[in-house]
Amino acid sequence: MSLGAQQAGIDVKLAVEIDPHAAATYHCNHPEVRLLTQDIRDISLADLPTTTDSTILFGGPPCQGFSTSNQRTRNKENSNNWLFAEFLRITKIWKPNWVVFENVRGIVDTEGGMILAKVKAGFEKHGYTLTEWILNAADYGVPQRRSRYFLIGSRDGIQVLKPLPTTAKPISVGEAIGDLPRLTSGTLKEQLPYRSKAVSCYASELRNGSKYSLNNLVTKNSALVLERYNHIPQGGNWQDIPAELMSSYTDASRCHTGIYHRLQNKTESVVLGNYRKNMLVHPTQNRGLSVREAARLQSFPDYFEFKGSIGYQQQQVGNAVPPLLAHAVFTSIIVSAGLSD
């Protein structure tokens, strides 16, 4: 979200990130931003910026508990589901002009909408006029079908216009990653030359003059998993794999359709999420996605470098708000507030 905010012209002054690997990535890419690597519950008014300019508080409390794919702890007993209270606490003590609360669309239904109702009631109690949307990233130049919930609050009573789609036709997977290096299962190369010239305007914009592809890290799969990949056509999934190759599953029929899904070159990607666990498959190569390929599908520019082990990098990419989607949201706020040039 910080990258999208900066692209929209917002001067990001402070970030809070307790995870050390995500914090390392943030500091690497936003060295100018003051970064607090501590628990949000320990943040006080003294830690927050003081300014006479218009201010904005944005973020997304941990969303694992709200995800529609998480049926085990998608309830009020999950302590992570209550960290939204810290967002409200910071809002109360800092009194920003704007708040942007982002989450997975599953928050709308969790506990029958009770948690979201508490979030909205909290902002309204502190004097904010609210606007809410569910936005599909594919409508805003991101080559991925990924729906996110946004709640915008204005302390000045402004209703924010929903951002208009920026693309008439979704960016395809092939357009997004077709120029990236050819890799194999288990590749761990931080830097490699591009496979070809940029294959689309989208790829050219994300390369932005970069000479190399970074974060070319691919999970190493067993021979059995690689054999399974051989049987999956573009757009197919685990159901295309012969039953004898799925015998290690207690009941393969319980796998959801996203397991072993092979992306299609000519359409946008399915939602990434935990793409390593789901065994999301490259459209033409028998392997999982590299960190850089996933980052392209999330609309991160190629200069944006991820830190930590391959597992932590995959988690960071999968959890992220696509920068182009965030850019559309922040731009809409700026326009609605009459702050644009």
- Domain holding 161: CATH number? 3.40.50.150
**What per-residue confidence (pLDDT) applies to 257?**
76
Does residue 337 surpass a pLDDT of 80?
yes
CA distance 324 to 309: 26
Its domain, for residue 248, covers: 173-319
Do 128 and 195 fall into the same domain? no
What is the tally of structural domains in the chain? 2
> Which DSSP string do the residues of 140-206 spell out, in sequence order?
GT-SB--EEEEEEEETT-PPPPPPPPS-SSPPPHHHHHTTSPP--TT-EEEEE--SSS-SSHHHHHH
pLDDT tier, 340 (very low <50, low <70, confident <90, very high otherwise): low
**What per-residue confidence (pLDDT) applies to 249?**
81
pLDDT tens, position by position, 154-182: 999 999 999 999 998 999 999 999 999 99
Whether 341 is covered by a domain: the verdict is no
Do 88 and 24 fall into the same domain? yes
Structure tokens at 213: 């592809």
Do 88 and 184 fall into the same domain? no
What letter does residue 89 receive in the DSSP assignment? H
pLDDT tens, position by position, 97-135: 999 999 998 888 887 888 899 999 999 999 999 999 999
Q: Confirm whether 63 is a catalytic residue.
A: yes
Question: Residue range 218-246: average pLDDT?
Answer: 95
Whether residue 143 contacts residue 173, with contact meaning beta carbons closer than 8 Å, is answered with yes
Question: Residue range 302-330: average pLDDT?
Answer: 97
Nearby residues of 37 by Cβ (< 8 Å), 6 or more positions away: 17, 18, 20, 23
pTM over 0.85: yes
Do 107 and 224 fall into the same domain? no
In the chain, % of residues over pLDDT 90: 80
Do 303 and 253 fall into the same domain? yes
pLDDT tens, position by position, 270-295: 999 888 888 899 999 999 999 999 99
- Domain holding 196: CATH number? 3.90.120.10
CA distance 273 to 67: 10
> CA separation (Å) from 250 to 20, 222, 242, 246, 266?
36, 18, 15, 9, 34
pLDDT tens, position by position, 26-71: 999 999 999 999 999 999 999 999 988 899 999 998 755 444 454 4
Do 312 and 217 fall into the same domain? yes
